[in-house]
């Protein structure tokens, strides 16, 4: 069973590779659900580490309904990430009717080829998941990152198992959302091909509480080494 680690910090990329994880979903601002990482972060991750990088392409926080200009940004970001050597892209494109925007997705796939394509947790919002799953297979999407229409994958396990059964190995159903040391065995037991976790802990900088710098200090999003080791070893 493969382990994908969501990384917003280059230190998490290093730790994930050291732990033996199989791939990275690279993004920024996990507290916002993740947005497109900077070109500098992408380039450093790709050139300094051998672990495959799946790059999230999401130009802003909020919903997954994108205007013409926003979608132009998405296509440009896909092309840029592709040129820097990522292994795949992660996208989620929706309409106001809670359906996948098939036209936008087709264009995104066309620009990304031959990279791997992951449709992210926007899938949990889709009104017609069973037929949408079949369409994603037909379009050549490699995997769906999802939590079974729940806040956490462990809660949505029954739906995830149903989607995995429907997929029948034609597309990868990858559980994600709240996966940790305590519940990873649940997904191993159901023989999912992979799982997705951040293993994140908040790490403060060295600035003291009474310094001027502390007024603007934000916690760093860095994966917890013990969690990474445990989950990777359990899955492998």
pLDDT tens for each residue of 117-136: 999 999 999 999 999 999 99
Pair 36, 58: CB distance under 8 Å: yes
- Fold designation for 2-235: TIM Barrel (3.20.20)
Percent of the chain with pLDDT over 90: 90
Q: What's the mean per-residue pLDDT of the chain?
A: 94
The string of pLDDT tens digits covering residues 24-67 is 999 999 989 999 999 999 999 999 999 999 999 999 999 999 99
Q: Is the confidence at residue 204, as pLDDT, over 60? A: no
Pair 16, 223: CB distance under 8 Å: yes
**Alpha-carbon span 174 to 162, nearest angstrom:** 13
The pTM for the full model equals 0.93
Using pLDDT thresholds of 50, 70 and 90, give the confidence band for residue 200: confident
Q: Radius of gyration over alpha carbons of the chain, in Å?
A: 17
Q: Which residue has the higher pLDDT, 3 or 213?
A: 3
**Alpha-carbon span 187 to 31, nearest angstrom:** 24
Sorted by sequence, the CB contacts under 8 Å of residue 50 that are 6+ apart come out as 17
The domains of the chain are located at 2-235
Q: Dump strand ranges (E) for the chain.
A: 2-7, 23-26, 53-56, 88-91, 116-119, 143-146, 172-175, 194-197, 200-203, 220-223
The string of pLDDT tens digits covering residues 162-171 is 999 999 999 9
Using pLDDT thresholds of 50, 70 and 90, give the confidence band for residue 210: low
Q: Is the confidence at residue 215, as pLDDT, over 90? A: no
| Helix 102-112 vs helix 68-83: crossing angle, to nearest 10 | 20
């Amino acid at each position: 069973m493969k382990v994908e680690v969501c990384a917003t910090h280059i230190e998490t990329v290093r730790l994930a590779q050291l732990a033996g994880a199989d791939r990275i979903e690279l993004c920024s601002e996990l507290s916002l659900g993740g947005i497109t990482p900077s070109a500098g972060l992408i380039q450093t991750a790709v050139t300094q580490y051998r672990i495959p990088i799946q790059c999230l392409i999401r130009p802003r926080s909020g919903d997954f309904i994108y205007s013409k200009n926003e979608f132009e940004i998405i296509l440009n970001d896909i092309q840029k990430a592709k040129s820097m050597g990522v292994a795949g892209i992660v996208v989620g494109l929706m309409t106001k009717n809670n359906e996948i925007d098939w036209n936008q997705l087709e264009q995104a796939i066309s620009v990304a080829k031959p990279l791997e394509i992951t449709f992210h947790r926007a899938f949990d919002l889709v009104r017609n998941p069973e037929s949408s799953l079949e369409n994603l297979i037909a379009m050549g999407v490699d995997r769906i990152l999802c939590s079974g229409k729940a806040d956490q994958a462990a809660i949505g396990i029954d739906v995830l198992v149903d989607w995995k059964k429907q997929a029948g190995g034609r597309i990868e159903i990858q559980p994600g959302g709240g996966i940790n040391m305590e519940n990873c065995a649940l997904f191993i037991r159901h023989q999912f091909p992979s799982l997705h976790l951040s293993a994140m802990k908040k790490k403060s900088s060295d600035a003291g509480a009474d310094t001027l710098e502390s007024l603007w200090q934000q916690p760093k999003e860095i994966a917890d080494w013990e969690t990474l080791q445990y989950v990777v070893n359990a899955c492998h």
